Structure 1
């Protein structure tokens, strides 16, 4: 039977079964640094480009945890308030979000689990409701039987004392309930833009959420764990406008992938496809690849040809192999099959810039096409800034298309060149090879301008670029 469009698996981990997750999971270095299971400290906020495996990691951790789990994601978005215009210090936001997260944890877990934990958590929830009634307009009872909190009222000046007392009691009550149950609790926050509507317009509110995550984790020790998974674009918007980033920088980690991990990813998916149990034996990567691919020379050369087109990691690798597999049909997948689908794959990568960065840089995909279409693959950073100036900033038709975009309106051509690095379209040459934002997100404008940049191979076919030297 010819390969289907999902032969190597679905690119979106939210559609995978628990069996698939367990069999195909590739361990990353960040896992050993997470505050999880019995750890009392560690990484609590995982940042990654869309497609880098945040949801897969979250679901894998959940499947292996012996804990009361409370999920917050696109399918479990319990907060209906728009936070785009909510203003206040990240300290007050921290206390409000910590209280809301703990209340919802107590409420949801109490509804779904045994009486051993139900009564204690229910009492914690009801006690916090009574205390919040001391804050004017904080309680919303628009739906009979449903008690919601108005975030804007919780973070107003003058209510900090009640809010802090309520949060302190919630922490104590929830931890005591978990001790009675003899099992820890976990709060997992994914798709943060779906959980907190409008957060893409309010990066300082994201700072408050991160501080709330750190607060609960610090005070909860190994009794309760909170992990949050954040798109690189949202993190970047916060990084550009921080107030208290230094307070929580040590709990933020970046989900990255290298060549070896991507090759292992496909090898494990091939093993799963062929019903080969690799759980209790070492993985023979070359033997697995040989079941679906053919190459001349060394496997490493062939796989590096494949992985060079991956911008964000696993999703790109799966999409690339699925497209090539459909092209090959029943035949072993060769380099010629991969070459044949690069145009369509590359166009997809340009369009998908919106998925990770559209909130932070609206219509950045169109900007990329205007700047790089038919241009040279390799240039100096200053030549890139000049290219942006000539093709966009002093070209009236193009300039008018972007002039109202907040990220473009007041930016210099030098800053926009750095934006092209931040969204992963260009990398910086170094003595050790190319550096991309997913590996080194905090590159300065001067570092980029003084160096040599190359457009990522994944974008070149779709932009009909030509090789050249600066």
Structure 2
């Protein structure tokens, strides 16, 4: 009997079981630098491409703490205000967002946990309610616990009162947690769903990031906040910052390399077979339970990982596709992987819109049209010329995309966009480098590269040899 479609587990961590996630988790260096546990400082904004494991990391952090966790994600969006048109400074935004987050954390903690901190947290919310009532229309007291109105809090007339309330609120909440020997966490994932319209407003994202930094500064070792951001959204903020320097040192990037992806599949094989995994992991031995290869193990596994654009999700998807090719649970070979590349590559191109469409509308169509039959390798300048000849100077392509915000009349800028979404990388002395490994590359740096290549994952669908 053939293996099921999801033999190596779910590619999307949001639907995987907690037990599976715990067994399959691959430690990343980013974890030891986060402000978490009893640390009073550390990184607080996690940036990663879609499929790089942001949600998996968020769920792993949650599973590793006994503290109360207030989650905001696609299933717990909470904010209903469309922030796309908000043009207030990130300083004003951060105070409004921080006040709402801390109040909601305190309310939910006090309602869901039996703790010595409960009464003190309820009192902190009540005190802040009394203060915020002095801001006209800023708070709706007709609902249980009262609800803050983001739009009203952002008005200049509310600034001093909001700051006073925020300072008192965070002080009271942290004191309540410390006196009860408790800790709490605020985790913000799927930020596009939590704050509708944020994809069109990188300045508001800056305000949210600064709110997270302020909460952590006041929270010390008792209250943590971590924000997870897609790399495309981060890039739009990075390119048009106002106060980016105030949070730069708190940002870290979720990256993956060959060894980590191979370990990921080994852990999933072990979990599938019910094996206990100790401190040491014999990766090659475990792979041999499902795969068969000739030659070096490293050469075989690199054939797989070279097709991974965004890290773990791609690795799991490709392995699951290949697992369906052999009959009767026969070992998976290179031929089975090769037979899966057509459908995998098509899916990768179409999924560009799912991954980056919020920032680069219809980006999958652009890649499909511009890169069909393109050279697999070229110089950085040749890539820029390709953007000019096949996009900017082509009436059909230019006519379809000229009104898109991401489509400027600059061939170097378009070339960089292709790097940012993972379609191209550049060759270095240590191998080919893509955005998942090095997100910060400038247009001039990319154009100056002697060898730029289209990612192998996209080549089959784009008829690139």
Q: Which residue of 1 aligns with 2:402?
A: 403
CA distance in 1, matches of 2:349, 2:61: 31
* Aligned pair partner of 1:325 in 323, 326, 334: 323
Quote the offset at 1:389 in angstroms.
Answer: 1.6
Q: Deviations over 1:88-144 (max 9, x none)?
A: 111111111111110010111111111523222111112212211111221235x64
* Aligned pair partner of 1:295 in 288, 293, 297: 293
Normalising by structure 1, report the TM-score: 0.96
Contact 2:107–2:145 at 8 Å: present in 1 too? no
Q: Which residue of 2 aligns with 1:283?
A: 281
Q: Deviations over 1:75-98 (max 9, x none)?
A: 111111111111211111111111
Q: Which residue of 2 aligns with 1:447?
A: 445
Q: Which residue of 2 aligns with 1:426?
A: 424
For the residue of structure 2 that corresponds to 1:84, the secondary structure is coil
RMSD: 1.2
Q: Which residue of 2 aligns with 1:369?
A: 368
CA distance in 1, matches of 2:87, 2:111: 33
Distance 1:145 1:246, change over 3 A: same
Q: Deviations over 1:398-420 (max 9, x none)?
A: 21111211111x33111111111
Q: Which residue of 1 aligns with 2:71?
A: 71
Contact 2:44–2:212 at 8 Å: present in 1 too? yes
Q: Which residue of 1 aligns with 2:20?
A: 20
Runs of at least 4 residues off by over 3 Å: 143-146
- 2:123 matches 1:120: no
Q: Deviations over 1:5-46 (max 9, x none)?
A: 110001011112121111111000101101000111111110
CA distance in 2, matches of 1:79, 1:172: 24
Q: Deviations over 1:373-407 (max 9, x none)?
A: 01111111221121122212222222111121111
Q: Deviations over 1:187-240 (max 9, x none)?
A: 111101111111001100000010110111111110101011111111011011
Contact 1:66–1:183 at 8 Å: present in 2 too? no
CA distance in 2, matches of 1:228, 1:181: 26
CA distance in 2, matches of 1:144, 1:361: 39
Q: For structure 1, which runs of at least 5 residues remain unmatched after alignment?
A: none
CA distance in 1, matches of 2:140, 2:402: 40
CA distance in 2, matches of 1:360, 1:281: 41
For the residue of structure 2 that corresponds to 1:352, the secondary structure is helix
Contact 2:115–2:180 at 8 Å: present in 1 too? no
Contact 1:232–1:356 at 8 Å: present in 2 too? no
Normalising by structure 2, report the TM-score: 0.97
CA distance in 1, matches of 2:158, 2:26: 46
- 2:209 matches 1:210: yes
